[in-house]
């Protein structure tokens, strides 16, 4: 994974305390937690008072009420502090999710493809949830528990310091054992989250090919493959669970050892009168109270390790470089006399596999330019290079007189309307789909006019809620309708250059004719580049470029190419044959 060293990594502290309100909430949570801890610490001392007072024959009402108050205060304080922290944690997660999603949408298409959509989804759902534990435990509970342990030991030392040494010794031995376990927890959580990512990716990929799987009656085979991935998740999760399940018993063992040692040596000290009964009672209560924060420290460290492993996976996404903006130089002035698009000896390879070689051609400012050629020749790749989804490995592409690398992405993509071969629809209303990329809303009359132009108005009006129908789940469009939606979107843009990849592949001849008229109208004052297999769509183009094996073999008008290019003649002959 190529990473960007200048990237802003997730900083839990900063992310958690963004804004004054967050800092106030955090302060309140800390104060409430401190109050709860202090009240909890005071309780045994007050119990000691109750016992002393009773043995002196005095009243126990006041100290008993105080014991109750301390217990109540401790409970209420820790509940309120827990809730405040949960809110802060959720706020932080909300911001982190937004940030990671926004970053992912700005990554180059090839990066997203190689990461996998499912894996990305797993990161902002399951990894982000694990990260939440860092807030709960790492930021307050852990330090507070450590503080509680320290204070408790201090108070215990005032009662009997020798017994404190016995206690601390037992817990230190348990602590060393737990530290070893924690190292493994972080590693196995990272493995577990990676396996979850792979499973999510596989499941997403299978769902998006669902019709193909069903058509081949391959559901069981697909389910078995997914089952293997689920088993991999189970194996890694079990490894993590095995390690985590050791933490509490090891700490429990430490407590048992401490309890036995303290009771034994305490008994001797009681007999030797170095220790009084109320002090011993209070000491034992403190010892029991020590278990809770000690356990919080041990299990909290486990969750912290898991959260940190998750944070690393989110940071990996944030470290991926976004699509870069070109450095706009003063020399890069747009010349009016230049062609709209110039390919100058362009080479390109997908993952080291060469696809374009020395590809050179020119697209004039106005008029219809067609790219034709056999399947896999590199036509779609050329269009993708114009909108800078990828970069040429050699040569240059100039758009409106300026090297494509020198445009800012905003400027470049604002000037180009690109309709790819997928005719992607977003899950959203028809209106939302048409409005894509536009900040000012279109009024209904412009939307209906455009839908009429591409011959889609009746189909949209027939949908249950017209323009407000949500597309993508229960209401979908046919291939040809999608194609016309994509065209409508391009018509609504005010781009100077329009790139169409196979815009008529799924249209009937009536719609194809209608579309040709639309293209001609557009080409009167804009640059229109169209990739098409069907020569009927493009043979009237002003300029045709023949691409074969990643290079331009000929260019000119239909007539000129018939004379010059044997491959073009072959293409025409084969289609005449097919249609005749």
Ligand X SMILES: Nc1ncnc2c1ncn2[C@@H]1O[C@H](COP(=O)(O)OP(=O)(O)OP(=O)(O)O)[C@@H](O)[C@H]1O
List contacts with Mg ion (CB under 5 A).
Answer: 380
Q: Which of ligand X, Mg ion, none does residue 469 bind (CB under 5 to 8 Å by kind)? A: none
- Any alpha helices (H) in 274-415, and if so which ranges? 277-318, 379-386, 409-415
Indicate the residue among 89 and 118 with the shorter CB distance to ligand X: 118
Indicate the residue among 89 and 378 with the shorter CB distance to ligand X: 378
Phi, psi of 424 (to 5 degrees): -60, 140
Indicate the residue among 283 and 343 with the shorter CB distance to ligand X: 343
What is the rounded distance in angstroms from the CA atom of residue 538 to the CA atom of residue 370?
A: 6
Q: Which of Mg ion, ligand X, none does residue 460 bind (CB under 5 to 8 Å by kind)? A: none
Smallest gap from Cβ 385 to ligand X, in A, equals 10
Smallest gap from Cβ 509 to ligand X, in A, equals 20
Does residue 398 sit in helix, strand or coil?
A: strand
Smallest gap from Cβ 226 to ligand X, in A, equals 24
Indicate the residue among 348 and 407 with the shorter CB distance to Mg ion: 348
Does residue 349 sit in helix, strand or coil?
A: strand
Residues β-bridged to residue 362? 342
CB atoms within 10 A of CB 317: 22
Indicate the residue among 380 and 553 with the shorter CB distance to Mg ion: 380
CB contact burial 413-449 (16+ within 10 A = b; e otherwise): bebbbbbbbebebeeebbbebbbeeeeeeeeeeebbe
Smallest gap from Cβ 389 to ligand X, in A, equals 10
Smallest gap from Cβ 13 to ligand X, in A, equals 40
Indicate the residue among 250 and 531 with the shorter CB distance to ligand X: 531
Smallest gap from Cβ 507 to Mg ion, in A, equals 16
Q: Find the residue with minimal CB distance to Mg ion.
A: 380
Contacts of 506 (CB under 8 A, 6+ apart): 478, 479, 480, 482, 483
CA distances to 19, 131, 133 from 30, rounded to whole Å, are 17, 20, 17
Does residue 336 sit in helix, strand or coil?
A: coil
Q: Which of ligand X, Mg ion, none does residue 579 bind (CB under 5 to 8 Å by kind)? A: none
Q: Which of ligand X, Mg ion, none does residue 201 bind (CB under 5 to 8 Å by kind)? A: none
Smallest gap from Cβ 217 to ligand X, in A, equals 28
Q: Which residue, 283, 279, 251, is CA-closest to 166? A: 283
Q: Which residue, 291, 39, 341, is CA-closest to 170? A: 291
Smallest gap from Cβ 348 to ligand X, in A, equals 9
Indicate the residue among 108 and 364 with the shorter CB distance to ligand X: 108
Q: Which of Mg ion, ligand X, none does residue 355 bind (CB under 5 to 8 Å by kind)? A: ligand X
Indicate the residue among 251 and 529 with the shorter CB distance to ligand X: 529
Q: Which of ligand X, Mg ion, none does residue 557 bind (CB under 5 to 8 Å by kind)? A: none
CA distances to 15, 45, 80 from 28, rounded to whole Å, are 18, 26, 9
Does residue 457 sit in helix, strand or coil?
A: helix
Smallest gap from Cβ 512 to Mg ion, in A, equals 18
Determine contact, residues 541/530, Cβ cutoff 8 Å.
yes
Q: Which of ligand X, Mg ion, none does residue 377 bind (CB under 5 to 8 Å by kind)? A: ligand X
Smallest gap from Cβ 118 to ligand X, in A, equals 17
Indicate the residue among 383 and 498 with the shorter CB distance to ligand X: 383
Indicate the residue among 234 and 380 with the shorter CB distance to Mg ion: 380
Smallest gap from Cβ 306 to Mg ion, in A, equals 45
CB half-sphere exposure, 317, CA atoms < 13 A? 29
Indicate the residue among 26 and 423 with the shorter CB distance to Mg ion: 423
Q: Which residue, 291, 281, 263, 293, is CA-closest to 159? A: 281
DSSP string, 115-164: H-HHHHHHIIIIIHHHHHHIIIIIIIIHHHHHHHHHHHHHHHHHH-HHHH
Determine contact, residues 77/32, Cβ cutoff 8 Å.
yes
Indicate the residue among 45 and 416 with the shorter CB distance to ligand X: 416
Smallest gap from Cβ 342 to ligand X, in A, equals 19
| Residues at the interface with ligand X (CB under 6 A) | 350, 355, 375-381, 421
CA distances to 251, 518, 523, 524 from 364, rounded to whole Å, are 77, 19, 10, 12
CA angle 243/245/246 to nearest 5° reads 70
Smallest gap from Cβ 486 to ligand X, in A, equals 15
Helix and strand totals (H; E) in the chain = 21, 12
Indicate the residue among 379 and 484 with the shorter CB distance to ligand X: 379
Q: Which of Mg ion, ligand X, none does residue 437 bind (CB under 5 to 8 Å by kind)? A: none
Strands (E), 402-466: 402-403, 416-419, 428-429
Contacts of 204 (CB under 8 A, 6+ apart): 116, 117, 118, 121
């Amino acid at each position: 994974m190529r990473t960007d060293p200048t990237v802003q990594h997730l900083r839990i502290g900063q992310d958690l305390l963004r804004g004054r309100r967050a800092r106030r909430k955090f302060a309140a949570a800390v104060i409430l937690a401190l109050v709860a801890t202090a009240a909890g610490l005071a309780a045994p001392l007050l119990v000691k008072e109750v016992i002393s007072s009773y043995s002196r024959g005095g009243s126990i009402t006041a100290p008993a009420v105080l014991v109750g108050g301390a217990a109540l205060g401790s409970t209420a304080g820790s509940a309120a502090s827990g809730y405040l922290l949960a809110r802060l944690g959720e706020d932080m997660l909300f911001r982190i999710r937004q940030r990671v999603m926004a970053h992912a949408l700005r990554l180059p298409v090839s990066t997203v493809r190689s990461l996998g959509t499912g894996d990305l989804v797993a990161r902002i759902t399951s990894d982000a949830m694990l990260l939440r534990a860092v807030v709960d435990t790492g930021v307050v509970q852990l330090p507070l528990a450590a503080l509680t342990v320290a204070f408790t030991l201090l108070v215990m030392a005032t009662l009997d310091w020798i017994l404190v040494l016995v206690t601390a010794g037992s817990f230190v031995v348990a602590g060393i054992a737990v530290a070893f376990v924690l190292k493994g927890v972080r590693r196995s959580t990272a493995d577990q989250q990676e396996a979850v990512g792979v499973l999510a990716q596989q499941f997403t990929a299978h769902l998006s090919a669902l019709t193909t799987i069903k058509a081949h009656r391959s559901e069981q085979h697909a389910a078995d493959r997914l089952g293997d991935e689920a088993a991999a998740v189970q194996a890694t999760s079990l490894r993590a669970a095995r390690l985590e399940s050791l933490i509490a018993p090891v700490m429990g063992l430490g407590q048992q050892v401490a309890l036995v040692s303290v009771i034994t040596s305490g008994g001797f000290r009681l007999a030797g009168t170095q220790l009084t009964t109320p002090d011993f009672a209070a000491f034992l209560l403190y010892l029991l109270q020590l278990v809770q924060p000690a356990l919080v420290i041990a299990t909290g460290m486990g969750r912290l390790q898991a959260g940190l492993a998750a944070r690393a996976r989110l940071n990996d996404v944030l470290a991926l470089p976004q699509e870069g903006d070109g450095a706009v130089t003063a020399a890069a002035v747009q010349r009016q006399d230049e062609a709209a698009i110039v390919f100058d000896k362009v080479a390109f390879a997908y993952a080291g596999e060469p696809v374009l070689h020395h590809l050179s051609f020119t697209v004039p400012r106005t008029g219809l330019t067609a790219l034709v050629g056999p399947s896999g020749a590199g036509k779609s790749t050329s269009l993708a290079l114009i909108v800078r989804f990828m970069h040429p490995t050699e040569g240059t592409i100039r758009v409106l007189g300026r090297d494509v690398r020198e445009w800012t992405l905003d400027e470049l993509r604002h000037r180009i309307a690109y309709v790819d071969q997928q005719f992607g629809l977003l899950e959203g209303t028809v209106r939302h789909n048409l409005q894509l990329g536009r900040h000012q809303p279109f009024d209904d009359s412009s939307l209906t006019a455009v839908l009429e132009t591409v011959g889609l108005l009746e189909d949209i009006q027939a949908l249950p809620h017209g323009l407000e129908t949500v597309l993508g789940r229960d209401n979908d469009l046919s291939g040809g309708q999608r194609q016309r939606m994509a065209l409508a979107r391009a018509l609504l843009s005010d781009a100077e250059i329009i790139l169409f990849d196979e815009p008529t592949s799924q249209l009937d001849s009536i719609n194809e004719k209608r579309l040709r008229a639309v293209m001609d109208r557009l080409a009167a004052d804009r640059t229109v580049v169209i990739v098409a297999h069907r020569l009927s769509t493009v043979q009237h183009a002003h300029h045709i470029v023949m691409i074969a094996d990643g290079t331009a073999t000929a260019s000119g008008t239909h007539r000129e190419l018939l004379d010059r290019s044997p491959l073009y003649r072959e293409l025409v002959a084969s289609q005449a044959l097919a249609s005749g």
